Chains A and B, each alone.
Chain A
Amino acid sequence: MIGPLVERAAELLPQQGPLQTFVHHNTLHAFEDLPFHDAVVRAGVLLGAEPFPSEQELHGYVEQGRITDADLVAVVVAEVADDGVPVVPGGPTRREFHTSRLRHLLDVPRGPALRWVLAEAGDLGPAWSALVAAAPRVVPTAEPTPRPADRVRAETGVDPDALVHPVLIRLTAAFLDQGVAYWPMPDRDRGLLAAFRALYGRAGGPPDRFLRGLGATLRGQERWDAERTVAWALTELEVPETEWGEAILATLLSLRGWAGMVRQFEVRPDRAPVAAPPARLVDFLAVQLTLDVFALRHVLAEHPGHGPVVEVTARPDVELAYEAFVLAELMAVDPTPDAAAWLALVADCDGLERRRLLHAAYERRHRVGVLDGLAAHQRMSTSDPSSVEFQAVFCIDEREESLRRHLEENTPVAQTFGFAGFFGVAMNYQGVHDVRPRPLCPVVVTPTHDVVERPVAPARGVLRRVRGGWSHHVGVGSRTLARGGLFSLALGAVSLTSLVGRCLFPRQAQRWSHQLDGPHPVTRLDIGYTVAEMAGIVGTVLRTTGILAAPAPIVLLVGHGSSSMNNPHESAHDCGATGGGRGGPNARAFAAMANHPEVRAALGLPDDTWFVGSYHNTCDDSMTYFDEDLVPSRFQADLARAKNSVARACVLAAHERCRRFETAPPDLALDDALAEAETHAVDLGQPRPEYGHATNAVCVVGRRSLTRGLYLDRRAFLVSYDPAADTDDALLTSLLQAVGPVCAGINLEYYFSYVDPARYGCGTKLPHNITGLLGVMDGHASDLRTGLPWQMVEIHEPVRLLLVVEATPARLAAILSANPGLARLVGNGWIQLVAWVPDDDAMFLFQDGTFQPYVPEVAEFPVVSRSVEVYAGERGHLGCAHVLAGVDLPVPVLAAAQDAR
């Protein structure tokens, strides 16, 4: 009985696990069965959150021209039914009304403010009288409150959660703690409920008045299971059995961060950072409801309820009437002939509807810019360069877009590809210094193979261990009594040096501290795959990207990750395709597999090709190359050239990225770019180490030649896919199955954390407090904050992912109908899907269940010779541009493009 109710409630809890392995996912994953617009509204009501950006913000975009008139008209035409007849004689039609309404931001006074305005205004004339007379009558209704605690709060004005939550947070935090507290919670290996009973069931318990009698009750329930306790508590709270499901949901949602984390430990104990105690959500619920019982009894005894004040008289909706009155004046309409129709029209275009339409217009402008850019660029660009000296396979991550573009821009003989950053190697990986293995693959995959990094020579590392032991000793000891006294006396001078360094010279301080770690030992990977498995992995990647057909002498595999200080959400900047890990080992393992003689033989790879694994740190734009000592001498010169090109591209990419940091000067010198980026990564005072996936908005699945030389502002996931090599759609199907949900998850998490940073996101980072090594709270006892911090999303544009696939609508429709998961995401509008047939210069946007032809709109398309010309001196979002460098263009095309400009 209780079990299924808890299971159902659990689906609506935040799905975020411990912060060490942050995996981006759709915040409203549980609502994906609904169309996007319904889901955000429904979830907004349930969770008290915002569905769209505020009307003020959206209206600001109208004023800035970010939303144009054409967008408003187009959106209204698409969304508002109209019979072409004015709603009131001489007034606007429905569509004209909506378009005009969206252009005006009205601050309609409400409640007492409105009463005051009306009293001051005196007689407003016949229009006003007619509107008030016709205004619908409303009866104030109280929100249904399935949860007893909410009812008590409404009746007494005292919040029982203020009593319950602090105790519950303390208990849950202690139960889940991964090693912050010096003393672990006793009896926690028996579960949360048992530990709670063991602690609070003893005599001489806490003296809080509201907990009086708790000990006796807990002792009486010693042998009860959690379900029985829940049923007992719900009965005690006088919740009718039919409402148990809703009461359980509302109760869990009142502290959803912690409830969700308990749930994560229950279903994914393998993702616990150190060790998972036996967590069960129903235990948590039993504790919460037990405390609720005591808190409610106490509050009701202290504040005898007077019952909620229920107003039953229906009154005319004066607020609506006033809004209609103001709009009638604004649009010079006389509503008296049909005041009811005018009121109904005004009511139809309420705040929520306006935000929905404005947001649709906002998305439309972005979509038009990107699709027109892609189409225009495609008309100009030529095919791939004829001679290719090296190829580099990057993750599809949109942050690699700039690195790839700069690489190709400055090294025309380089060719880049995009493939999910685990490169098909789904493994449990344990690095040479790692304490335990961790999966490096998409979260939906459970790896079956182990890869271990082993030192070539037995490592000494004594110094390193001693240093680690010492810093642990100081860290723990300084918080105790006697050792703390000794340490603070003895280490005062040392800590002063460190404090000065960290505050004033962060980069140098980090370098100095890093030097003490010593160099990384020479290692090899111990790869537990058979030759056939390796050939399968390597073959898939090379076929999908098209490398297998024409491999270059050097093929770089570039995994990525991000390392930063002052950032509990560090792992959210890592590679999503490796499940929030760093993709270097995957690239390295892939290269080792591809260089394996038997694998090469199986795939028919030529001898004049060598694969090199590498790692790109997206935070400081540094590169690490693996197993360089294994590279045969005949490839050394090629590799050196490739590394030089990549290093140069890293500088340029860092330079482009730094334009988003307001602290970086707008005329940042190229030579200072890496230093600026590195400072952001190592500074203890820097809440913006990098902007991560912020601004992500587009995903292009298709040949790189279609986007090569196109400035996409680090906003597009780029997935290499060659339709010619995919006759039966098998490659495209598997690509879309992986890319769709992953990119949508990232995109939607940013959307929601931006739109409501307080409920969906975790707010500003500045007061965050790491608890239990698994999450952050605000201050000392708040709910666990899930989602992304404001500093990560502040520059984001909340648009749904625009997924552009190089395929005909027919092929995409077939794939959608065969894949319900994908069809759900696309059909319900969680992503915008576009079929692109470049050969016919045609695009089709998936709307209302079908692919509809897209008509280009923008004539202008900037052409530049270097990326820097696009972004120099700019901080905001930038549109597409054609970058000429490295691509031979027939002169007439160039001239035509410049004319168009």
Chain B
Amino acid sequence: MNALVIAGVGVPLVTFLVLAVALWFGLVWTERVVSGLVVGAAALSALVGLALAVVCIVEGPSAVSLGTWFAGFPLRLRADWLSVPMVVLCGLLGCLIGAFSQRYLHRDPGYRRFYLLLALFVAAVQVVVLAGTLDLLVVGWELAGLASALLIAFFHHRPGPVAGGLRAFITYRISDIGLIGAVIAEHHRAGHGVVGLLLLWAVLGKSAQFPLGGWLPRAMEGPTPSSAICYGAISVSLGPYLLLRNGVDGPAVVAVGVVTALYATLVGRAQTDIKSSLAFASMTQIALVLIEVGLGWNVLALVHLITHAVLRSGQILRSPSLLHDHHHLEQSLGAPVPTTGRHFERLVPARLRTWLYRFALERGYVDAFLVDRLVNPLVRTVNRAAAAEDRWTTTVAANRQAVSR
């Protein structure tokens, strides 16, 4: 049992380390070796997950203690009804996406980097999922965030992907305030409610919930397979998992879910590119899962999370075939594809319709509010402070020089 739990985390982690060391020392392994290692590791970790499932059913859930990292930081892993299905999902998707990318990224100059990051991502998610303490979970959480931000910025010679990656990175850091806060609050034996609210804060960024979801469509500028695994499936699912793991529910969670679900479904309907459309669809479903979590329907939430991850990553992988599929669909129907959104025209008065459409097209003005009203003033304040400090140090230095003379 212990060995299985450790293997679930250890196999992808070791693979990542091996690849990282090899790349660090400039070893150029062939595409086949690099991808084979990662796909194999992910598949093995999925199989370990299946074995764990059997053991869990027979022997019941279990916790493994691996000693302590440093005082007050016990390394504990936990395999139960919640973590084991996620281990299987993450290993399976890692393996499938890895196999898929063997063809998709063939001959790309960043091939090895992609697999390195994919290995890191899978390993980090397995740490998050199997972590028995919030402290250990944080480690995986940060690594997964780092891997996904770097995957968004995969094409780093163009400004767009880098800006997208940076946006995700900053959003993650903002939501980290919540997560780290929760860890500290827990160590200081704060109430469950406080910890829960702080965790919910962490979820806002990670799962792209209102109003911190602006990074999600921007994340679609990475390679399609990484978009599929991170933003269609696993990365955004970590938020609800965090709440399930820590038993957080209640009206605040429901409220976040309801607001985001309405927002995302409204905005998603005006998106004219397939990947943004799917990004907002993901956001909608994750919001629904949050509602389920908030209502305490934990099993439903877990099932919904997993089935959604599989469905959506498949859709994202298929998105470059949209023109082909549209043509095929027209041929199957024997008629033009029916127009959508008619009840919108029927039910909503024209004036409101224009307003709603503009709201959706502008993605709910969230970016404008955040950037113009929060970020820019903050940047200006910081800049002013920096300038003031500059002046002050210059003055002090001048005085010192005068004194020493």
Residues of A at the B interface (CB closer than 8 Å) are: 19-20, 170-171, 173-174, 177, 179-187, 198-200, 202, 204-209, 273-274, 433-436, 461, 464-465, 467-469, 471-472, 475-476, 478-481, 484-485, 487-489, 491-493, 495-496, 498-500, 502-504, 517, 563-568, 570-571, 662-663, 683-688, 764-773, 777-780, 782, 791, 794
A780 near B272 with CB under 8 A, answer no
Query: Using Cβ atoms and an 8 Å threshold, which residues of chain A touch B326?
Result: 179, 273, 773
CB nearest neighbor in A for B322: A770
Query: Using Cβ atoms and an 8 Å threshold, which residues of chain A touch B97?
Result: 503
Tell me which residues from 86 to 117 in chain B have a Cβ below 8 Å from any Cβ of chain A. Answer: 96-97, 99-108
- Stretch of B133-141, B154-162, B171-179 at the chain-chain interface: B154-162
Residues of B at the A interface (CB closer than 8 Å) are: 96-97, 99-108, 154-155, 158, 160-161, 164, 217-218, 220-225, 261-262, 265, 268-281, 284-285, 288, 303-304, 306-308, 310-315, 317-327, 329-341, 344, 350, 353-355, 357-358, 360-362, 365, 368-369, 372-373
B307 near A568 with CB under 8 A, answer no
Query: Using Cβ atoms and an 8 Å threshold, which residues of chain A touch B308?
Result: 488-489, 492
| Best-surrounded residue of A436, A478, A685 (most CB of chain B within 10 A) | A685
CB nearest neighbor in B for A683: B103
Ranked 9 nearest A-B pairs via Cβ:
A492-B307, A468-B332, A779-B221, A771-B273, A479-B281, A182-B269, A433-B331, A481-B265, A488-B308
Given A179-B326, A493-B307, A767-B154, 11 other A-B residues pairs in contact with their CB atoms under 8 A: A180-B271, A180-B322, A467-B332, A468-B332, A472-B333, A492-B303, A503-B100, A567-B320, A770-B322, A773-B323, A794-B107
**Can you show 30 pairs from A to B with CB atoms below 8 A apart?**
A19-B323, A180-B271, A199-B361, A206-B358, A273-B326, A274-B337, A435-B330, A435-B335, A436-B336, A481-B265, A484-B281, A485-B285, A488-B308, A488-B311, A488-B312, A489-B303, A489-B308, A498-B314, A499-B313, A568-B320, A662-B107, A764-B108, A766-B108, A766-B223, A767-B221, A767-B223, A770-B274, A780-B218, A780-B273, A780-B279
B270 near A181 with CB under 8 A, answer yes
Q: Contacts A484-B285, A565-B321; is A777 near B104 (CB within 8 Å)?
A: no
A684 near B321 with CB under 8 A, answer yes
Query: Using Cβ atoms and an 8 Å threshold, which residues of chain B touch A491?
Result: 307, 311
B103 near A779 with CB under 8 A, answer no
A686 near B103 with CB under 8 A, answer yes
Q: Contacts A184-B339, A465-B333; is A663 near B271 (CB within 8 Å)?
A: no
Which one, B104, B320, B338, contacts A770 given CB within 8 A? B320
CB nearest neighbor in A for B264: A481
A199 near B96 with CB under 8 A, answer no
CB nearest neighbor in B for A569: B323
CB nearest neighbor in B for A563: B324
Query: Using Cβ atoms and an 8 Å threshold, which residues of chain B touch A769?
Result: 220-221, 273-276, 319
- B176 nearest CB across to chain A (Å): 25
B277 near A471 with CB under 8 A, answer no
Which one, A199, A204, A565, A566, contacts B357 given CB within 8 A? A199
CA distance A768 to B324 in the complex (A): 15
Query: Using Cβ atoms and an 8 Å threshold, which residues of chain A touch B279?
Result: 780
CB nearest neighbor in A for B305: A488
Query: Using Cβ atoms and an 8 Å threshold, which residues of chain B touch A517?
Result: 332
Which one, B100, B221, B277, B320, contacts A479 given CB within 8 A? B277
B276 near A772 with CB under 8 A, answer no
A208 near B368 with CB under 8 A, answer yes
Q: Contacts A20-B323, A207-B368, A766-B224; is A186 near B354 (CB within 8 Å)?
A: yes
A685 near B324 with CB under 8 A, answer no
Query: Using Cβ atoms and an 8 Å threshold, which residues of chain A touch B360?
Result: 183
Query: Using Cβ atoms and an 8 Å threshold, which residues of chain B touch A433?
Result: 331-332, 334
B361 near A478 with CB under 8 A, answer no
Which one, A183, A202, A504, contacts B96 given CB within 8 A? A504
A198 near B331 with CB under 8 A, answer no
A185 near B357 with CB under 8 A, answer yes
Q: Contacts A504-B99, A685-B100; is A170 near B338 (CB within 8 Å)?
A: no
Query: Using Cβ atoms and an 8 Å threshold, which residues of chain A touch B288?
Result: 481, 484-485
Q: Contacts A202-B354, A205-B358, A685-B101; is A488 near B273 (CB within 8 Å)?
A: no
Query: Using Cβ atoms and an 8 Å threshold, which residues of chain A touch B224?
Result: 766-768
CA distance A495 to B99 in the complex (A): 17
CA distance A187 to B361 in the complex (A): 14
B340 near A183 with CB under 8 A, answer yes
CB nearest neighbor in A for B366: A207
CA distance A765 to B223 in the complex (A): 9
CA distance A502 to B100 in the complex (A): 8
B270 near A174 with CB under 8 A, answer yes
Query: Using Cβ atoms and an 8 Å threshold, which residues of chain B touch A566?
Result: 104, 320-321
Which one, B102, B277, B337, contacts A472 given CB within 8 A? B337
Which one, A177, A435, A764, contacts B272 given CB within 8 A? A177
B272 near A492 with CB under 8 A, answer no
CA distance A683 to B317 in the complex (A): 11
A435 near B104 with CB under 8 A, answer no
CB nearest neighbor in B for A472: B329
B327 near A20 with CB under 8 A, answer yes
Query: Using Cβ atoms and an 8 Å threshold, which residues of chain A touch B272?
Result: 170, 173-174, 177, 180-181, 771-772
CB nearest neighbor in B for A767: B221
Query: Using Cβ atoms and an 8 Å threshold, which residues of chain B touch A780?
Result: 217-218, 220-221, 273, 275-276, 279
